[in-house]
C-alpha cells in the first residue's frame, strides 16, 4: 500500500525495509551481529558464496571466538582455518587488524567507517557494512550487488566499474537512504541483489519491492544492465609440480611474503613444463636424487589475473644433499610429516589435484 505523504525516495526506503522484514535471509552473523562477527563474515563473503562461508564461519569462531583470541593466534593457525576459502591475503589482514585493534583501540572495534578503514584489509565497502550494521552509520555499502541494482533502477548504461559509476551509485543511494535502520537498509540491498535482482539469469522483477520505479523493468533492458566491459586477458604460467617423498616425509616450501598466495606453503615446483628427461637434473638442483618418478597428470587453476597450467610428478628420493646437518638448505625446502600436512601447513587449493594424490602410505 502506498502512503501518499511520502516522497518517492522515502517510499523507496520504506518499501525496501518492509520487504526486508518479511524476506530477510537468516544468516548466522545476523543473529548475533557483534562487530567481530560482522567483520569476519564480510571478509569471508568477499569473492565467496554465502553457503560456502557458513561452515568456515562457525569453525573460525569456535577456534578464535574473540578479537583478542584472533590477535594472539599464530598466523599459521589462521591460514589453516581459512584453507579452501582462497584469497589468503584476507585472513592475513584480518589477523593484522586484530593486532591493531588490541594495540591501538584497546580491544574495541572502531565505530566510524572512516576509522575502520585504517585497519588492515578493511576498504570502503567493508567499513560501511560494519559501521552501518553495528553502529547505525548512514552510509551505503556499495559492492557489485548495489551497483547492479543501481544500474537497473536508473538505467545507467556506462561502464559500471568506473569511478564515475561508483559516484553516481553513491549519489543514488544517498538520496534513498533512511535516517535510521541504516544497517538493515544495507542488508536489505544485499539481499535484494543476491535473491531478486540476480547477477546471472533473469531477475525476479515480479517479487521486487522496487519494480514500480525501475527503469530496466519499464524498458525491458535488464539483460544489458549493468554494462560490464570485457576484462583484460589473463596471463598463462606453466609450472611443473613435485610431490617429493624422502625418508617418510614430503618436501614443502613457503612462498614469498609478498605476491600471489603470499606466505603459504607449496610443493616444490619449477617454472615451465619440464620433460620427463629433464626431471632428474632439476631435482639435483634441489639436492634430491630420484629413484622413482611417476606422472600425476596435468591441472589448471584460474586466479583473477592469471592461470597456472601445471604438470605434476611424484618423486621418491633416496638422498637429499641439503639434509646434511650443518649445511644451509637451498630453496628453503623442508620436510613435513603426515600429521603436519594435516594440521599445520596450509596448501592452497590451486594445488588441490596434487594434494589429493599424496600417498599417505609413503609417509610416517
Ligand atoms: S525491478 Fe527487476 S531489474 Fe529492477 S531492480 Fe527489481 S529485480 Fe532488478
* In the chain, where the domains are located: 8-141+160-197, 235-362
Return the ligand 1 atom nearest residue 215 CA: 4
Q: Look up the CATH architecture of domain 8-141+160-197.
A: Orthogonal Bundle (1.10)
Using a 6 Å cutoff on CB, does residue 15 contact ligand 1? no
The residue whose CA has the least distance to atom 8 of ligand 1 is 197
Task: Select from 208, 215, 219, 223 the residue to mutate for testing ligand 1; criterion: most ligand atoms less than 8 Å from CB.
Answer: 208
pLDDT at residue number 2: 42
Give the number of the atom of ligand 1 that is nearest the alpha carbon of residue 209.
6
Quote the pLDDT of residue 3. Answer: 47
Residue 49, phi-psi category: left (phi > 0), alpha (psi -120 to 50), beta (remainder): beta
Is the backbone peptide bond immediately before 298 cis, with ω within 30 degrees of 0?
Answer: no
Q: Is 319 a catalytic residue?
A: no
329 closest CA partner among 274, 281, 288, 358: 288
For residue 329, the model assigns a pLDDT of: 53
- Compute the 3-state secondary structure of the chain and give helix, strand, coil in percent, each to the nearest 5: 50, 15, 35
Q: 235-362, superfamily in CATH?
A: Nucleoside Triphosphate Pyrophosphohydrolase (3.90.79.10)
Cell of 126: 567493508
Confidence (pLDDT) at 87: 86
Catalytic residue among 31, 42, 115, 206: 42
Walk along the chain (364 residues) and give the pLDDT tens digit of each residue. 444 455 777 789 999 999 999 999 999 999 999 999 999 999 999 988 899 999 999 999 999 999 999 999 999 999 999 998 988 999 999 999 999 999 999 999 999 999 999 999 999 999 999 999 999 999 999 999 999 999 999 999 999 999 999 999 999 999 999 999 999 999 999 999 999 999 988 999 999 999 999 999 999 999 999 999 988 889 999 999 999 999 999 999 999 888 899 889 999 999 999 999 999 999 988 889 999 999 999 999 999 899 999 999 999 999 888 655 555 455 578 999 999 999 889 899 999 999 999 999 999 8
Give residue for cell 615451465.
272
Instruction: Using alpha carbons, list the distances in angstroms from residue 202 to 123, 142, 216.
Output: 30, 22, 12
Residue 192 CA, closest ligand 1 atom number:
7
Which of 173, 207, 217 to probe ligand 1 with, by most ligand atoms within 8 A of CB? 217
For helices 8-23 and 163-176, angle between their N-to-C axes, nearest 10 degrees: 90
Residue 105 confidence (pLDDT)? 97
Reported as type and span, the H/E element at residue 20 is helix 8-23
Residue 288, SS3 per DSSP: strand
- How many whole angstroms from 203 Cα to the centroid of ligand 1? 6
| 225 CA: nearest ligand 1 atom | 3
> Pocket of ligand 1, candidates 16, 152, 191, 226: which has the most ligand atoms within 8 Å of its Cβ, to mutate?
152
Q: Find the 30 Cα to ligand 1 centroid distance in Å.
A: 25
Question: pTM score, two decimals?
Answer: 0.74
14 alpha carbon – ligand 1 mean position (Å): 16
Amino acid at each position: 500500500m502506498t502512503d501518499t505523504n511520502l516522497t518517492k525516495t522515502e517510499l523507496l526506503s520504506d518499501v525496501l525495509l518492509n520487504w526486508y522484514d518479511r524476506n530477510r535471509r537468516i544468516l548466522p552473523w545476523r543473529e548475533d551481529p557483534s562487530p567481530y562477527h560482522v567483520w569476519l563474515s564480510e571478509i569471508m563473503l568477499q569473492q565467496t558464496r554465502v553457503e560456502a562461508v557458513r561452515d568456515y564461519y562457525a569453525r573460525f569462531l569456535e577456534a578464535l571466538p574473540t578479537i583478542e583470541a584472533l590477535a594472539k593466534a599464530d598466523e599459521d593457525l589462521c591460514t589453516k582455518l581459512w584453507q579452501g576459502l582462497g584469497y589468503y591475503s584476507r585472513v592475513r589482514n584480518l589477523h593484522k587488524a586484530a593486532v591493531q585493534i588490541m594495540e591501538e583501540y584497546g580491544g574495541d572495534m572502531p565505530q566510524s567507517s572512516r576509522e575502520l578503514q585504517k585497519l588492515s584489509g578493511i576498504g570502503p565497502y567493508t567499513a560501511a557494512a560494519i559501521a552501518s550494521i553495528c553502529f547505525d552509520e548512514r552510509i551505503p555499502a556499495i559492492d557489485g550487488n548495489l551497483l547492479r541494482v543501481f544500474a537497473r533502477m536508473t538505467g545507467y548504461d556506462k561502464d559500471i566499474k568506473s569511478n564515475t559509476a561508483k559516484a553516481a551509485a553513491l549519489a543514488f543511494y544517498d538520496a534513498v537512504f533512511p535516517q535510521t535502520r541504516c544497517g538493515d537498509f544495507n542488508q536489505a540491498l544485499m539481499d535484494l541483489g543476491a535473491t531478486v535482482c540476480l547477477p546471472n539469469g533473469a531477475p525476479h522483477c515480479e517479487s521486487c519491492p522496487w519494480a514500480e520505479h525501475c527503469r530496466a523493468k519499464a524498458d525491458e533492458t535488464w539483460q544489458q544492465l549493468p554494462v560490464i566491459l570485457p576484462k583484460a586477458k589473463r596471463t598463462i604460467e606453466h609450472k611443473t609440480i613435485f610431490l617429493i617423498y624422502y625418508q617418510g616425509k614430503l618436501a614443502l616450501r613457503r612462498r614469498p611474503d609478498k605476491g600471489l598466495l603470499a606466505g603459504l606453503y607449496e610443493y616444490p615446483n619449477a617454472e615451465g613444463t619440464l620433460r620427463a628427461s629433464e626431471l632428474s637434473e632439476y631435482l639435483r638442483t634441489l639436492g634430491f636424487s630420484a629413484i622413482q618418478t611417476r606422472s600425476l597428470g596435468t591441472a589448471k587453476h584460474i586466479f583473477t589475473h592469471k592461470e597456472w597450467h601445471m604438470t605434476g610428478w611424484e618423486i621418491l628420493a633416496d638422498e637429499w644433499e641439503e639434509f646434511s646437518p650443518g649445511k644451509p638448505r637451498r630453496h628453503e625446502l623442508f620436510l613435513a610429516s603426515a600429521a603436519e600436512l594435516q594440521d599445520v601447513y596450509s596448501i592452497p587449493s590451486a594445488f588441490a589435484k596434487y594434494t589429493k594424490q599424496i600417498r599417505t602410505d609413503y609417509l610416517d
